[in-house]
Amino acid sequence: MSMHKKDGYVIEAIYPRFFYPHMTPVWLSTVVNFLGFTAPNAKQNFNYLELGCASGSNLLICAANYPQSTFVGIDFNATHIESAKAAADALGLGNIEFIHADFAQFLASNTQQFDYIAQHGTYSWVAATQQQQILSIVKAALKPQGIFYLHYMCYPGSGQLSSIQKLCHLVDQAEPQTSTQSLAKAKALCMELHQSGAFMQHPNIDAALATLQHSEAYLAHEFLTDHWQPLYSVDVHQQVYQQAGLAYVGSANPCDNLDSISIPQRLQATIHNTQAPALKEYLKDLARDAKQRLDLFQPQPQAYSSQQHLEQLSQTYFKLLAHAPSEGVRYFHTPIGQIQANQTLMHKLFAALAQRAHCFGELLQWPEFKAQPLFLIETLFLLMNAQYIHPYLDDMAHSVQLKKLEHFLAQNGLSLKIVPECGTAISTQFKTL
């Protein structure tokens, strides 16, 4: 039996460094504002907690971009925390703290309150006990209008991976070996089975097998946990509400908040006419063949009035990112296939944004958007999802730490360019359409 786990979760393999732009403060607050609720102001001082931070890449990038705020990351893997601390020290980031603790230990010791709490890549991979501890932390530590970001695997899409995951897990259990050795053997066995026709009746096997192209270190965390389990979003929403007192407000993926650009047209009427909220949400997951959720919750959502909402959105600025094509965009990739773009409008919009950041209120005065705020929101969400534009933060001068951070990340397998005026980073290997 393999001995590289704690509480059923892999600790022997180092989780690769990743950056998730949907987790940055300005992104989270902007999306919640668009959903019609008040949110922490990412331009002011705030406190941010990441539960299960691995080696801290997200927090390092955020701490460098938001020097006025404080960041805390916890992880129960000592190697992860040692790596994160060493990076923060080397980069001179004094507004970040990394804590070696499991969820129960942090729950017992923490006295801080946070405007943002983020949890990515753990919830559907740990036991119910750890899920309860996560929600207990959130209940105790999230401020009244704070934002809880929760990522997890969901049905129906991730259910397609269950046969591959079970095979990987059984290979790992079969004999003493490292987790990466287990994955190498399991990948080889999967491909042998595939080439022999074992998955002929599996309609989505190619997509499932494509997951195996990731590194063994990543797949060890993805597949070798004893508690791997996709979840039904409606069950998660109920659990978060009952155990932490938080209400679901929407998705950190902006497009998923608009049925018009995330649900096949022939199903939109069926979903619109469904009154039961839980049934409606599950129908959306079925229509999208949802594989992962990026859910946002608040303990006491404060809804704007219609006038307040328009005023808040009107002051929200967007910046064109450096890799966006100067000629605009021809189409958008979405869960419902390609959406054709108005190339004349896209060219005009990209040209304007290339000159300076524009606010929602300005764009709403354009003839193409006037009296059509929903069309403007759809356009902005599609451009955000395509990573062509980003909510704008400020024009503050930033230190040489950012260049040092880029160099550090590149050395550690993340080729990113820091975009301080947007409080984020973008891939330097981005491919435009």
pLDDT, one tens digit per residue, over 17-32 is 889 999 999 999 999 9
pLDDT, one tens digit per residue, over 208-232 is 888 888 888 889 889 999 999 999 9
pLDDT, one tens digit per residue, over 396-428 is 656 777 888 989 988 888 889 999 999 999 988
At residue 1 the predicted structure's pLDDT band, cuts being 50, 70 and 90, is: very low
SS3 annotation, the chain:
CCCCEECCEECCCCCCCCCCHHHCHHHHHHHHHHCCECCCCCCCCCEEEEECCCCCHHHHHHHHHCCCCEEEEEECCHHHHHHHHHHHHHHCCCCEEEEECCHHHHHHHCCCCEEEEEECCCHHHCCHHHHHHHHHHHHHHEEEEEEEEEEEEECCHHHHHHHHHHHHHHHHHHCCCCHHHHHHHHHHHHHHHHHCCCCCCCCCHHHHHHHHHCCHHHHHHHHCCCCCCCECHHHHHHHHHHHHCCEEEEECCHHHHCHHHCCCHHHHHHHHCCCCHHHHHHHHHHHHCCCEEEEEEECCCCECCHHHHHHHHHCCEEEECCCCCCCCCCEEEECCEEEECCHHHHHHHHHHHHHCCEEHHHHCCCCCCCCCHHHHHHHHHHHHHCCCEEECCCCCCCCCHHHHHHHHHHHCCCCEEEEHHHCEEEECCCCCC
Percentage of residues of the chain with pLDDT beyond 70: 97
Residue 375 has pLDDT above 50, yes or no: yes
pLDDT, one tens digit per residue, over 175-188 is 778 888 989 999 99
Is this structure's pTM higher than 0.85?
Answer: yes
Residue 394 has pLDDT above 60, yes or no: yes
Residue 278 has pLDDT above 80, yes or no: yes
Determine the CATH number of domain 17-156+229-298: 3.40.50.150
Which of 157-161, 238-242, 362-366 shows the lowest per-residue confidence on average (mean pLDDT)?
Answer: 157-161
Percentage of residues of the chain with pLDDT beyond 90: 74
